[in-house]
Amino acid sequence: MRSTPSRRATATGALIAAAALLAVGVQTGSATATPSSATAANAATAGADHGALAKQLSPSQRAELIRQADAGKAATAKDLGLGSQEKLVVKDVIQDNDGTTHTRYERTFAGLPVLGGDLVVQETKAGTTQSVTKASKVSSAQLKTVDLKADVAPAKAEKQALGLAKADGSKKTEADRAPRKVVWMAQGKPQLAYETVVGGFQEDGTPNQLHVITDATTGAKLYEWQGIENGVGNTEYSGQVTLGTAPSYTLTDTGRGNHKTYNLNHGSSGTGTLFTNSTDVWGNGSPSNAETAAADAHYGAAETWDYYKNVHGRTGIRGDGVGAYSRVHYGNSYVNAFWDDSCFCMTYGDGSGNANPLTALDVAAHEMTHGVTSATADLVYSGESGGLNEATSDIFATAVEFYSNTASDPGDYLIGEKIDINGDGTPLRYQDKPSRDGMSKDSWYSGIGNVDVHYSSGPANHFFYLLSEGSGAKVINGVSYNSPTSDGLPVTGIGRDKAALIWFKALTTKFTSTTNYASARTGTLAAAGELYGTTSAEYKSVADAWAGINVGARPGGGTDPGGKVFENTTGVAIPDHGSAVTSSVNVTGVTGNAPSALKVDVDITHTYRGDLVVDLVGPSGTTYRLKNSSAGDPADDVRGTYTVNASSETANGTWKLKVQDVYSGDTGRINSFRLTF
């Protein structure tokens, strides 16, 4: 059995800025874009292939597509080669303007949920399957071998989960969901397991939804992740805004899925009381007035709804026209805000001393985007997929902030710039150079999945900034930025609107629950190709931006200004479960030994990258391990830059890239191999 070490997930951490509002509410009958937002929506799709853009589906149109997919799911399962015990469950359907349909399925085996078995089927208007993107490349034949008899009692799995939650600092820990049998397929060979969900509260008062996966044969922990996705902040004023309310003067947005805003009045459960008033004026701009935070939250929800509908054609978080709801004044001095799928709601604390509600436009956009992610790719909130989950919320928080164009809080690439959590005026995160916060990472490296998801999000945030604005120094809306690249080469930006459009299309039609950085690159390139063409400047910039954060190579390579480059671009086939193959470069004209930080650029195509062991072999015959095999890495391809301490080697001589496929079932090819001295 192939297995990998599990990763502990944490859900607490810094998030984004918040803003209190002096708000005048008026009744709105529909979610109509303002002139500035309509312009932004048009700009976002300018230059894209209209046919490849998502069609704006009404809730009834979406429901009909889901009905059709549900009616044909048995035939689809047969076409995909699934076994008789495997069933598909329709989760989401997106249709492009040209009729291309992207249907997202979850899977069951012998009636048990298959975690990591999700997939997306892309079909033409005529019903021809164009592509299938799977969270796991495990074959149906392997599913047939899963032993459905558990050797471990459910009580043991529950005890393990409770112990893990307590070790994480949880309070009032209890089993929120008794252990249920599942087939765990997210890390390689499928196996019978238990999933236990632990409730209670996390250390900082956030509700707890810790999911723990326990091997039903051995009792070992296989994986864990947090179901509550949250962050940290304070407030500032955003001025007077228009709110969607009901004629009876309640905070019910009748034009946006009947989104409601409730007052928890410092409670920590239930919905509390719906905000009601004798007039349509809400709050006074001061946090001492309970309505001010409510106006903040209500406005943030409205702007986020409008952005997704007017720019991406998605009506509501789930795309079904149903509004989520907001709860304000959660707990006492709770310095956090969070999204919870189980209630389909946003919840805001009041900050330190109950004086700084975390109710802001960008907080709402960040947290509600967790809901969009859950309804689509459902990126597991742990490891690399967890970092991409967090980055997705940061990316669209930025997009919504620019889209809204609120005068007192103009768009920027600073996450949490108004919070001043450290008391020194600094934001929580910087998208142009994430490491400026002292914790986030600028670029991908092999251990990024072991970092807290709020900081492993750094490379994806950096990718989005590079793709939007390009590298180097610049000033945007009065804010200075200076974005570097990991390979020292420039990136040309394509504009924030195009960058967000590409990320959204990849999220909703290419990403799955297990998507990591390598497969995110694959997905965004596919999305850029569909929107702008594979020979377009946009496509090249996507590849360059990924190379700029150490994920994949640049098209056509490039000369590193820091040293001499030696490259072999002759392809070498990698046999399935066979002997190692090599690609060689002959280094000449370099004085002395190789550097202590020798850059090794690798471009390998393979349909299951976890099968591969990759080494650099120096002229002396010494082997330097670049990548181990990993069953928990089912994505395609190995593209990236590795750094090796080769200072004991004489630089001149023959260097080899050695690659071996150590498992059966997939093949690949070395495309290129480059050394920079």
Instruction: Write the DSSP string, 209-229.
Output: -EEEEEETTT--EEEEEES-E
Domains of the chain (ranges, CATH numbers): 565-676 (2.60.120.260)
For residue 147, the tally of other CB atoms under 10 A from its CB is 10
Using an 8 Å Cβ cutoff, are 524 and 392 in contact?
Answer: no
- For tokens 């008794």, name the residue: 178
538 part of the active site = no
So what's the pLDDT on residue 465? Answer: 98
Provide the pLDDT for residue 21.
23
Residue 36: its pLDDT value, please?
Answer: 52
Q: Closest by alpha carbon to 642, among 603, 593, 592?
A: 603
Q: How far apart are CA 260 and CA 212, in angstroms?
A: 33
Cβ atoms of residues 251 and 294 within 8 Å: yes
Q: How far is CA 56 from the centre of its chain?
A: 23
Cα gap 139→653, rounded to integer Å: 43
Reply yes or no on whether 329 is catalytic. no
- Give the model's pLDDT for residue 563: 64
Q: Where are the alpha helices (DSSP H) in 27-114?
A: 35-45, 59-71, 73-79
Question: Which pLDDT score, from 0 to 100, does residue 352 have?
Answer: 81
Structure-token match 């609107």, residue found:
497
**Burial class of 580 by CB neighbour count within 10 A (0 to 12, 13 to 18, 19+):** middle
Sign of the alpha-carbon torsion through 127, 525, 4, 439: negative
> 215 vs 177, 386, 629, CA distance in Å?
17, 22, 22
Bridge partners, residue 121, by sequence: 103, 132
Helical (H) or strand (E) element with 241:
none
The rounded average pLDDT for each run of 10 residues, N- to C-terminus, in the chain (677 residues) is: 28 28 28 47 76 92 96 94 93 95 96 94 92 84 86 86 76 73 88 88 79 89 78 36 82 93 95 92 87 91 94 95 96 89 91 83 89 95 94 96 87 76 72 94 90 94 98 95 93 96 97 93 93 93 94 67 73 90 92 90 87 95 93 80 91 96 87 87
Task: Give the per-residue pLDDT at 261.
Answer: 95
Q: 54: which DSSP letter? A: B
Residues making up the chain, counted from first to last: 677
Q: Are the C-beta atoms of 319 and 90 separated by less than 8 Å?
A: no
CB-CB neighbours of 567 under 10 Å: 16
Task: Give the list of residues 6+ apart from residue 419 with CB closer than 8 angstroms, or none.
Answer: 16, 17, 18, 232, 233, 234, 427, 428
* pTM reported for the whole predicted model: 0.76
40: helix, coil or strand?
helix
Q: Out of 102, 259, 312, 454, which one is annotated catalytic?
A: 454
Q: What is the dihedral of CA 591, 592, 593, 594, to 10 degrees?
A: -20
Task: Report helix, strand or coil for 449.
Answer: helix
Catalytic residue chosen out of the listed positions 195, 367, 417, 530: 367
